[in-house]
Structure 1
Amino acid sequence: MSCSRRQLITRMGALIAISGAAGQIVAKTLNINGVRYGMIHDESLCIGCTACMDACREVNKVPEGVSRLTIIRSEPIGEFPDVKYRFFRHSCQHCDAAPCVEVCPTGASYRDAANGIVDVNPDLCVGCQYCIAACPYRVRFIHPESKTADKCDFCRKTNLRQGKLPACVESCPTKALTFGNLDDPNSEISRLLQQKATYRFKLALGTKPKVYRIPFKYGEVSQ
């Protein structure tokens, strides 16, 4: 017996609501073991070399045509020969209040309560694209091979699993990226947040993003 995608989504959503209620409650807590990963992008140090993009693609086997991470270059700031550019990191914000998680009908999109990483379970994803539509940061895409939602996962299945830092952090030649546990006051990322003025993209939406940015010192910060 065959069924439409709409029927499949409805049935799976009902199953998740019944059998996965406890898991949904756990997923909405902030953390379990005091671990909540976040990242700082220092725009004053970023030179736009895109080494982070290349490393992300290689380590996570991201196919051509899609990207988990993009560095966006601003229009020229200043006048020749004193011209500067601002570089903006465009990737998943790993929100504590993630809209993509709330709209997913199958539970495929979830926030891991053990570390705060927002991820996608491809075995549950039916490719409905609700999460793509709900994400205010426009960072999700349908993987051309698996046909499921995909995005940055802080290299959770690759580098983090091997005890390494995310590929983008390891490859940055100017050390513009800092990764670590936001709930550990002694971590490098927590200390840096105490020392530097930062901002978060679209913070007014209430998504509680965990990617912080040290602003570029020339020109205005646009949110």
Structure 2
Amino acid sequence: MTQLALVIDLNVCVGCHACVTSCKEWNTSGEAGSLADFSPYDADPCGTFFNRVQTFEAGEFPDTETVHFPKSCLHCEDPPCVPVCPTGASFKRKEDGLVLIDYDKCIGCKYCAWACPYGVREIDEKRQEMTKCTLCSDRIHNEALPERDRKPACVLACPTSARLFGDIHDPESEVSKAIQERGGYQLMPEWGTQPANHYLPRRKTQVQVRAEEVERADNALQLERQFERGEINLAAMARQ
């Protein structure tokens, strides 16, 4: 069974929000309808987005780093949002594994949002309908578009190629190989929802590796000097 998904490389995401704006632009003009925006240029803007980028600081001072974490619907293989929908508006499509919403059936009850452990469903306050990422389902199968353009808008807009798209069930696909080679992981797998989207973990940069080498060398030098000054008794340490 085909399972289309995103694989996001956290090592090269720079938090530019190109994925956010391109997603908003495409889905506002596509099948998803006009997504609400209230006071977009005021101090407290509020709107509906399918894709958001969360930025936070990781580590302990002074060894900290900024992490940009894009998050949208994970198109779970066992989506908890589907069985709770009282009208059948939320469903998982068999041919490509996408979790979608039939807007004609949605009554805006928010049951699916409560059931989603990832907080990626948003109510459109203007239309009173639940919305979420569709992986640009109206684009990826559109034969009127050149094949190179049959990808989600966020993937095409990413300037660093941090977002990959494909069938994670195809062992020869780009996304499957990236998951296997880079140790791709699911978000909160303990919930048992089997998220289709995966993340590629951050790798240490050459600067970080060099800093660790310098620290180890400095620690070794300090131990050697302490031993020369008689501050360390190796025999006593060995007996402990």
TM-score, normalised relative to structure 2: 0.72
Contact 1:160 1:166 in 2 (8 A): no
Matching residue within 73, 77, 99 for 2:55: 73
Q: State whether residues 139 and 151 of structure 2, in contact with CA within 8 Å, keep that contact through their aligned partners in structure 1.
A: no
Pairs within 5 Å for 1:28-47: 31=1, 35-47=2-14
Larger radius of gyration: 2
Distance in 2 between residues matched to 1:160 and 1:88, nearest whole Å: 27
Equivalent residue for 2:166? 180
Matches within 5 A, 1:100-139: 100-139=81-120
Aligned residues: 184
**1:167 maps onto 2:153 in alignment:** yes
Equivalent AA in structure 1 for residue 181 of structure 2? Q
Contact 2:77 2:195 in 1 (8 A): yes
Deviation by residue 1:38-88 (Cα, 9 ceiling, x = unmatched):
1111000101011000100011113321211111001265657x8631111
- Partners of 1:144 and 1:217 lie apart in 2 by 40
- Greater mean alpha carbon deviation, residues 49-58 or residues 143-152: 143-152
Contact kept? 1:57, 1:63, Cα under 8 Å: no
CA distance in 1, matches of 2:180, 2:71: 24
The CA distance in 2 between the partners of 1:141 and 1:73, in whole Å, is 20
- Counterparts in 2 of 1:83-98, with a 5 A limit? 84-98=65-79
Q: Which runs of 5+ in 2 are unaligned?
A: 29-34, 38-46, 205-240
> Once the 2 structures are TM-superposed, how far is the Cα of residue 130 of structure 1 from its aligned partner?
0.5
Cα deviation 1:5-43 (Å, max 9, x = unaligned): xxxxxxxxxxxxxxxxxxxxxxxxxx3xxx210111100
Q: 2: distance between equivalents of 1:78 and 1:178? A: 31
Corresponding letter in the other structure for 2:192: G
What is the SS of the residue equivalent to 1:86? strand
Tell me the distance in 1 between the aligned counterparts of 2:54 and 2:141: 25
- Residue deviations 1:119-165 (CA, integer Å, cap 9, x gap): 00001111111101110001111123332111001011245434511
Identity %: 36
- Gaps spanning 5+ residues in structure 1: where? 1-30, 219-223
The match for 1:52 among 19, 22, 29 is 19
CA distance in 2 between partners of 1:63 and 1:139 (Å): 16
Q: Which amino acid aligns with 1:100?
A: C
Question: What CA distance in whole angstroms lies between the structure 1 residues aligned with 2:119 and 2:141?
Answer: 24
User: Judging changes above 3 Å, is the alpha-carbon distance between structure 1 residues 207 and 152 closer, same or farther for their aligned structure 2 residues?
Assistant: same
**Secondary structure in 2 aligned to 1:75?**
strand
Aligned in 2, Cα 1:114/1:106: closer, same or farther, shift over 3 Å?
same
2:124 paired with 1:143: yes
Q: Match for residue 4 of structure 1?
A: none
**Mapped partners of 2:132, 2:82: distance in 1:** 13
Once residues 77 and 49 of structure 1 are traced to their aligned partners in structure 2, the CA distance between those partners, rounded to angstroms, is 22
CA distance in 2, matches of 1:108, 1:175: 33
| Structure 1 stretch displaced more, 138-147 or 37-46 | 138-147
How far is the alpha carbon of 1:175 from its aligned partner?
Answer: 0.5
CA RMSD of aligned residues (A): 1.8
Structure 1 CA distance, aligned partners of 2:15 and 2:51? 12
